[in-house]
């Protein structure tokens, strides 16, 4: 299978800061993506699930049916959408990209874990409740600075408690959206941050108090800082009534993003528009001045 290049997502916008969901309608087959990073990312996912399963996988009682339904969906989707990479022979799903074969009738592992071993996405399963959607299970190999078992079993609004402005602006709309998802629909949104760590797996490290990192300068910010984008999807699993929340992480060196002057200027504008509490939440203060100086030097109006 000739794997396509990794897509480049640039979800930041110039202009005033807006706290919004930014939803895009997709088809159910857009639940997963596969690109040239597949071999390396799947090797890392297998390593994490083999050596640190207690940290990257969790399932509450009663979530098994939703995990099995998600695996059934992938077993149907992958051979149709990526026939050169996946084939199905009755109960057997063959992954030609890794050489693995999975028995769907008598799976050797938890079905949700198998789902996490098939594709580059992480998956969280949500159960509707009077308290709002509750995180009941997940395979989370590449978290963006949060630990699965700190959040498992909690309502979505509580999980997002540390996010500035979320409770006031997004908690109710997000809960309402999830409660009204219908079969055959999928929505996508993009979330972004800038980090000094390119690792995909980042369970810790956010919200530190340092105000300056002298190792990151305007001269080296392009190589030492990275744009981290999460492609997030939400879709209904109709048989179990659960909602699947898919997360695919993309990491790009800032130098790659800023190679287009207009993009560099747009990112700088978006960073400057962030409220102070959001800049702190995104851990920008240690390198913000160096990053902005670098981006300004790349922008269309830079002198030189």
Q: For the segment 139-162, what is each residue's pLDDT rounded down to a tens digit?
A: 999 999 999 999 999 999 999 988
> Cα(250)–Cα(10) distance, rounded to whole angstroms?
11
> Cα(23)–Cα(194) distance, rounded to whole angstroms?
21
At residue 122's C-alpha, the angle toward residues 256 and 147, to 5°, is 95
Kindly indicate the confidence band of residue 242, based on its pLDDT and cuts at 50, 70 and 90.
very high
> Cα(299)–Cα(260) distance, rounded to whole angstroms?
8
Domains of the chain, by residue range, sit at 24-297
Instruction: Give the dihedral sign, CA 22/24/28/29.
Output: negative
36, 6 contact by CB (below 8 A)? yes
Q: Per residue in 251-301, pLDDT tens? A: 999 999 999 999 999 999 999 999 999 999 999 999 999 999 999 999 888
> Cα(200)–Cα(29) distance, rounded to whole angstroms?
24
* Residue from 151, 245, 121, 148 nearest 203 by CA: 148
Q: Cα 37 to the chain's mean position, in Å? A: 15
Which secondary structure element, helix H or strand E, spans residue 199, and what is its range?
none
> Cα(49)–Cα(169) distance, rounded to whole angstroms?
36
Mean pLDDT, the chain, integer: 95
pLDDT at 213: 81
Task: Say whether 92 sits in a helix, a strand or coil.
Answer: strand
Region 194-222: mean pLDDT is 84
pLDDT at 156: 94
Region 115-121: mean pLDDT is 98
């Amino acid at each position: 299978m000739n794997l396509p290049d990794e897509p480049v997502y640039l979800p930041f916008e110039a202009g005033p800061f807006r706290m919004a969901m930014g939803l895009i309608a997709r088809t159910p087959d857009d639940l997963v993506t596969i690109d040239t990073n597949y071999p390396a990312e799947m090797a890392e996912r297998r390593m994490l699930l083999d050596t640190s399963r207690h940290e990257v996988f969790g399932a509450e009682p009663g979530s098994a049916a939703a995990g099995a339904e998600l695996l059934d969906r992938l077993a149907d989707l992958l051979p149709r959408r990526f026939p050169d990479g996946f084939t199905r022979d009755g109960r057997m799903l063959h992954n030609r990209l890794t050489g693995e074969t999975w028995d769907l009738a008598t799976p050797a592992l938890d079905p949700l874990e198998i789902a996490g071993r098939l594709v580059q996405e992480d998956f969280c399963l949500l159960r509707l409740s009077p308290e709002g959607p509750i995180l009941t299970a997940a395979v989370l190999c590449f978290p963006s600075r949060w630990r699965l078992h700190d959040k498992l079993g909690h309502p979505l609004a509580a999980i997002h408690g540390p996010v500035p402005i979320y409770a006031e602006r997004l908690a109710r709309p997000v809960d309402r959206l999830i409660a009204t998802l219908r079969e055959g629909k999928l929505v996508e949104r993009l979330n972004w941050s800038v980090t000094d760590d390119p690792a995909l797996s980042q369970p810790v490290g956010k919200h530190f108090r340092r105000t300056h990192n002298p190792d990151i300068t305007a001269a080296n910010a392009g190589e030492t800082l990275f744009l981290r984008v999460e492609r997030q999807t939400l879709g209904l699993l109709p048989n179990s009534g659960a909602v699947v929340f898919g997360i695919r992480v993309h990491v790009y060196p800032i130098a790659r993003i800023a190679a287009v002057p207009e993009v560099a200027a747009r990112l700088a504008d978006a960073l400057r528009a962030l409220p102070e509490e959001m800049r702190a939440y995104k851990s920008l203060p240690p390198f913000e001045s160096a990053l902005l100086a670098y981006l300004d030097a790349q922008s269309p109006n830079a002198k030189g």
